[in-house]
Each structure stands twice: as C-alpha cells, then as structure tokens.
Structure 1
Amino acid sequence: MAVLLLLPVLATACVFSVGVGLWVVCSHFLTADIPAAIGHPVKLRVFHCLLQLLVTWGMIFEKLRLCSMPQFVRFVHDLMPLKKYPDLEIKDLRFGTIPVRLYQPKASSNTLRPGILFYHGGGAVLGSLRTYHDICCHLSKETDSVVLAVEYRRLPKHSFPVPVKDCMAVTVLFLKSLNMYGVDPARVVVCGDSIGGGLATLICQNLVDNSDLPKIRAQVLIYAALQALDFRTPSYGQNMNVPLLSLSFAFYCWSAYLNISPSWKSTVLKGAHLPVEVWEKYRKWLGAENLQERFKKRGYRQIPLGPLNEAAYLETNLVLDVQNSPLIADDEVVSRLPEACIVSCEYDLLRDHSLLYKKRLEDLGVPVTWHHMEDGFHGVFNTLDMGFLYFPCSTRILNAVVHFIEGL
C-alpha cells in the first residue's frame, strides 16, 4: 500500500526533474552566446547547461528553504573524485580556523623552493579546495613549488570583507613560517583567478608597506575581478551572455558579496549609482579610452550615464573601497607593487578589468607579462583535466603561468 502511495510522488518528482532540465536547455539556447572563435561549441554548451542545472536546482532548494544555492552547488562539486598525484605530498591543514591545502613535491631539493599562495575564484559563490585541486597540483608539480591554497569563507554566511580578512590572515601566517615549508622568502608568489585574482591583488597592495614580512615577489592574475564600480566597459556589453559568466550571474555574485539589494540592477548597469564627480575622478583609469581600439569592436556601444539615484548611492558606495576595487588604488601604492603576470580572455565579461589594470601597472613602471587568450572565456582554466569538457586554452594558461614562475 505504501509503495502505491509513493508512486504518484515519484512520478511527479520525475516529471518535475525532466521539466527543470528542459527549461535549463531551452533557456541556454535562447540566451547563451557561443562565439565561433572559442571552438568546441558543443563542449561549452554541455558545460554551461550542467552548471546552470546545478544553479537552478540550488535556487529551487533555496526557495524551499532546504539549503542555499551556493551550498548546494559546492556540495555537488565536492562529490567529484580527486585525481591522485603520487609525486606530491598533499596535506589538509588549518591556519587558525581557516582551512588550507598544502602541496609539496616529494622529491628532495638542495635549494629552497618557490612558494605560491593560491586564492580560488567562483565569485565567493562557487569554488573550493576540491574544485581547484588539479590546478594546484599542476602548479606545484610543474614549477617545483610549494603551493598553499586558501579556503576562505564564502556566501551565503560570509560576505565582504570576510574573504579578504581570511586571505590576509593566511598569507601573513604563511610568510612568517616559510622556513617550515622549505620556501625561498625571495620567491613567494600570490596567484588567483576571477575573485581570487582580485584577492591576490589586494594582498599585494595591503602588504606593500609591511617591512616585517618577506616581500611578495610577483602576482599572477588570471581573468581577475579588479573593480566593482563600472558595468559599462566594452567587455560587459560584448560578452554579457557568453558562458560561463553571464552578466546576470555576475551581478548576482556582486550584489550578494557586497550585501547590496539586487533590485538596484538597472540603476547600477546605467552607472546611476555613483555621482558624476566620481566617474570623472576615476575616468583616467576606468574609461574606455584606456583600451586598445581592437577591444572596442564587436558591436561596442557606449552606455550613457544615468542621473544619480541618491538611495542607490547610499547603499552601493562601498564599491569605492579599494578592498573591493583594487584597480582604483592610489598611484603611490600601485607603483610599488611587484611585477605581474596577467592573463586575460577575449570572451570574458571581466576582460577589461585585466586590460585596465595592465595599463595602470605599466604606466607606473611595474613590469607586466601579459597573455591574452583570443579563444578564452571566463572559467576556462577550470577545465584543466576535465576529460570531455577540457579546453586546450586551459593548458596554454597553465603553461604561461608556469613559464613566468620558473623565470623568477
């Protein structure tokens, strides 16, 4: 009898699940833009649909108050098996209360090794030590370095400034104990992708005046998120529907991370959340005139600035804090930063962050090694070692980073 009663429930659940899947697929084909230059369009469509399916189910569970969307997506991601790397010693540790994962080559070395502090991406919504395990293993193995990956606290429980504080705390503790891990204090590198690249930049800026710790040797920024002010630069219009980071999902991450109401979306996209004098002040660094002409093609249209919304300004002005927008830090700070390796992707919503920061560093005399992936998109680095979902661009990014670190 109980089985008979369960049958309608199971049938309903199956029909609902199929409906969710069909909705995700239809939504993808109606909204997603797959540029021909990316190559492997089927792979990208499959990858995007899988990610959107996880996010959609996460939203459903969040509405049902079973768990939050970020918790559900990270839970499913963390079910993926970890690949074994027999030539590396991998330890899960805690620096204070913050989980970290240490990667060390097992082979003995007559010299101290470089050290890499890695801050993962994911907009403080996605991403974890497990999802970046292969990337960190490759960095450790191929550069013969000690890698420390940081599991900073994320949404939904922790928003700005918690991730910044967590990464700073781990970085300081690591720099104080380099001899314990056999790391050369003259070759410590900070590295990150997306929001992790922004965190790496902040670490460099926050430590620039600290004379009690070893100096950061270099910063490796992979399609980094470097400013939270402006959603009107060319790449936002050109790549707003390119997987894996659409404008709508980027705004979701932005508003959740900064605890800003998503209802301000239309206001923020028009630039009406900040006064004209603010835009004039930072135009010298954020203006599209700072970009090469080739990056303003593909249908770029300048979005006119909307009239100031005072209520929006009161809620969103924390975007002017350099801890959210390291791209607008003072010249006196930026000019003293370590050399940088910057990786940008043509079909990335955040592409212009990298291009604008590259120009700032170069204008102030900071050495920059720049690699632009003409077929790259946001998140492509994570496809490293993903089997069918692997994109060759991810290997080129890895090779560029490895070559840069080996040359330090």
Structure 2
Amino acid sequence: MTAHDPLTPQARTLCDAMSATFPDPADGPLDADTLRAAARAGLGKPAVPMRSVTERRVSAPDLDAPVPVRIYEPGSDGPRPLVVFLHGGGWVLCDLDTHDGLCRRLAALSGASVVSVDYRRAPEHPFPAASHDAYAVARWAAAHARELGCDPHRLFVAGDSSGGNLAAAVAQRAQGDPEGPAIAGQLLLYPVLDHRLGGESPVAFERGFFHTTAHMRWYWEQYLGVGGDPVAASPGLAPDLDGLPPALVLLADCDPLRDEGLAYARRLTRAGVPAEVALYPGVFHGFLGAAGFLPEADVALARAAAWLTRTPGTGA
C-alpha cells in the first residue's frame, strides 16, 4: 500500500488477514466451491443469544422447491418489526451460517424478528432464481407476520452486498405488484446495484481492500450465466423509482461498490423517496461482519437498528 492508507489501522490488519485466505480472480481462474470454502472458514459459535432461533421451509406455487429460512426472535415483546434478510456473497457464496452473527446483532439491537433467507445460489441457479426466492419469502413473511409476533405494517427487506441487490429488487417488484407485500423500508448494506461498475470507486479501490473489482465482475458472470439480462438484474437501473419505500443505504468508503450505492440513493431522493446515506470512512466492503472488532461496524449496526426502529409502518 502507499504511505497514505485510507483504511484505519484496525481495518487494514483485518483486511490483509482476510485477503490472504480469499482468492482473487485477477490472479487466476476460480471455482465456486473454493471461494465458498474460504467464505466459511473460521465460523464460530453464536455470540448473541436470542429468545428463539427456528428453521422453516417456505413454499410457493411458482417455486421449484421450498426455500429454507432461519427465524431469529429477540427478547423483545411484540408486535415487533419483521425483517426479511438476504445474505451477501456475490449470489454465489455464503449461507445462513456465515451471516448468523449479523442477523443476531440486527435482531438484538432493533428488537425486530429477522427471517434470514437461504436462497438458491449461482452458478448452479443463475438469475432470476435468487430474486424469485427472495420475493417468495417476502410474500410469506407478510402473510405470517402476526403468527411470528410481528407488526404486519412494519415489514422490512434488508441485505448486504448481493443481498442488498435482492432486497432492492424485492422492494421494486412489490411496488409494481397489486398483490405484493407492503414493504415499510429497505435496508441496503453496501449493495450491488449496477452491473456496469461505474464511478470512481471501482478504480480507486480495485484491489487491496478485500473485495476487489475483479471479484465483482466474476460474481456478475456467475449470476447472469448464459443469456442473463444484466439490466433486469440491476435494481440501480430501474427506470421508475416512484413510490418505493424509505431506504437506508449504508456504505463503506473504501469499496468498489461505493459509487453505485451513492448514485442509487440520489436517484431515490430525486424520485421523492426518503433515502438516507450512511457512509463510513476507513473501512472496506463487508466490514459489518467485524462487529465487536471494528468500532465502525458497531456504530453502523446501531444506526441501522435505530433506523428500523423509527421508520414508520405502511399504515402510518
């Protein structure tokens, strides 16, 4: 790195340690299983207790198979907010276990129940499989909110990275579906929104900040497969954002995806959608997974939880 490192010393230490065990497609061909194993390395025991954690399978008429979900119920009494959470990992990596700690912290801090979605992953299941699974679970959550002890008017979609892509896509699809779930807000954590990878950040943070621009291009290739429509898979390119639910767009400053997140927040604001941006300097893509080690992650999760708590429901 140069003499001026935009990462904090703690973030740099963590970034380098993570990068050392996580292959970069810029260095040679990759396969999904190798990256999946790297993403799961070092998983520990749950650190944040919940009142209950249950596993279910969600079925829908338009799905080939039920979608596994994990439901986190915090200690707070209902009716609680209900969050459908879509994990990141470039639509290829990660699962319920890799994001268990993040979901627990979000539930504990916000008092919301969290439904974590084990959607189908690429390249075995390219676009739009993951998006279909995410939408099916959102519809199921809306229909079963009271059963889960939650307020049906306070249903949120949330996700990090590629999960943020799916969360934004669910919010857009619901807005255009007369029978779709009523979404109270969308929590987008350093989301993937635009296949073009525009702006300055993909160049400024191309390499050396864990999540590289080459990673993102490779993920898009896996997700789209043969003949996938990159525009349809890019919520940031949706022509009409009018009427979408409020959004919190939470970003890492040292991230190739920073600028597309900023661009989407600006588009939402121009469309009259209440959109907040929380930009954290000195940290890299995926930093929320380091809660308890990086103070920026703790602050960011507290802000996300506060936003979920104060954002009014759809009946307000």
Aligned equivalents of 1:224, 1:245: Cα separation in 2: 13
1:156 has 2:119 as partner? no
| Deviation (angstroms), 1:103 | 0.3
RMSD across aligned positions (CA): 2.5
Percent identity of paired positions between Structure 1 and Structure 2: 26
Within 5 Å, give how 1:122-161 maps onto structure 2: 122-161=89-128
Tell me if the contact between 1:82 and 1:130 (Cα under 8 Å) persists in the aligned partners. no
Sort the Cα spacing of 1:99 and 1:150 in 2 relative to 1 into closer, same or farther, 3 A: same
Sort the Cα spacing of 1:85 and 1:223 in 2 relative to 1 into closer, same or farther, 3 A: closer
- Structure number with higher helix proportion: 1
Aligned equivalents of 1:57, 1:247: Cα separation in 2: 14
Sort the Cα spacing of 1:214 and 1:166 in 2 relative to 1 into closer, same or farther, 3 A: closer
Sort the Cα spacing of 1:374 and 1:82 in 2 relative to 1 into closer, same or farther, 3 A: same
For structure 2, the 5+ residue unaligned runs are 60-65, 312-316
| Deviation (angstroms), 1:145 | 0.9
Given candidates 134, 138, 141, the residue that maps to 1:171 is 138
| Deviation (angstroms), 1:185 | 1.2
Aligned equivalents of 1:140, 1:200: Cα separation in 2: 17
Given candidates 81, 89, 97, the residue that maps to 2:52 is 89
Sort the Cα spacing of 1:57 and 1:407 in 2 relative to 1 into closer, same or farther, 3 A: same
1:147-189 per-residue CA deviation (whole Å, 9 max, x = no partner) reads 0000111133112111111111111111111111011011111
Q: What residue number does 1:184 align with?
A: 151
Aligned equivalents of 1:123, 1:156: Cα separation in 2: 10
Q: What residue number does 1:102 align with?
A: 71
Structure-1-length-normalised TM-score: 0.69
Aligned equivalents of 2:161, 2:4: Cα separation in 1: 20
Tell me if the contact between 1:242 and 1:349 (Cα under 8 Å) persists in the aligned partners. no
Aligned equivalents of 1:325, 1:212: Cα separation in 2: 23
Within 5 Å, give how 1:6-405 maps onto structure 2: 35-40=5-10, 41-52=12-23, 59=30, 68-73=33-38, 76-77=40-41, 80-96=43-59, 97-107=66-76, 109=77, 111-228=78-195, 230-259=196-225, 318-321=229-232, 324-331=233-240, 334-385=241-292, 390-405=293-308
For these two proteins, the number of residue pairs brought into alignment is: 303
Tell me if the contact between 2:48 and 2:101 (Cα under 8 Å) persists in the aligned partners. no
Sort the Cα spacing of 1:114 and 1:231 in 2 relative to 1 into closer, same or farther, 3 A: closer
Tell me if the contact between 2:248 and 2:307 (Cα under 8 Å) persists in the aligned partners. yes
For structure 1, the 5+ residue unaligned runs are 1-28, 261-314
Structure-2-length-normalised TM-score: 0.88
| Deviation (angstroms), 1:130 | 0.7
Sort the Cα spacing of 1:363 and 1:142 in 2 relative to 1 into closer, same or farther, 3 A: same
1:270-315 per-residue CA deviation (whole Å, 9 max, x = no partner) reads xxxxxxxxxxxxxxxxxxxxxxxxxxxxxxxxxxxxxxxxxxxxx6
Residue identity matched to 2:297:
S
Q: What residue number does 2:62 align with?
A: none
Aligned equivalents of 1:399, 1:34: Cα separation in 2: 29
Sort the Cα spacing of 1:206 and 1:373 in 2 relative to 1 into closer, same or farther, 3 A: same
Larger Rg: 1
| Deviation (angstroms), 1:47 | 1.9
| Deviation (angstroms), 1:251 | 1.3
Residue identity matched to 2:120:
R
Aligned equivalents of 2:4, 2:115: Cα separation in 1: 35
Sort the Cα spacing of 1:381 and 1:33 in 2 relative to 1 into closer, same or farther, 3 A: farther
Where 1:178 maps in the other structure, the secondary structure is: coil
Where 1:320 maps in the other structure, the secondary structure is: coil
Which structure exhibits the higher relative contact order, with contacts defined as CA atoms closer than 8 Å and separated by 6 or more residues?
Answer: 2
Residue identity matched to 1:328:
L
Tell me if the contact between 2:23 and 2:35 (Cα under 8 Å) persists in the aligned partners. no
Sort the Cα spacing of 1:34 and 1:102 in 2 relative to 1 into closer, same or farther, 3 A: farther
Q: What residue number does 1:23 align with?
A: none
1:106-149 per-residue CA deviation (whole Å, 9 max, x = no partner) reads 45x2x411001100111012221111111111111111111000
Aligned equivalents of 2:179, 2:221: Cα separation in 1: 36
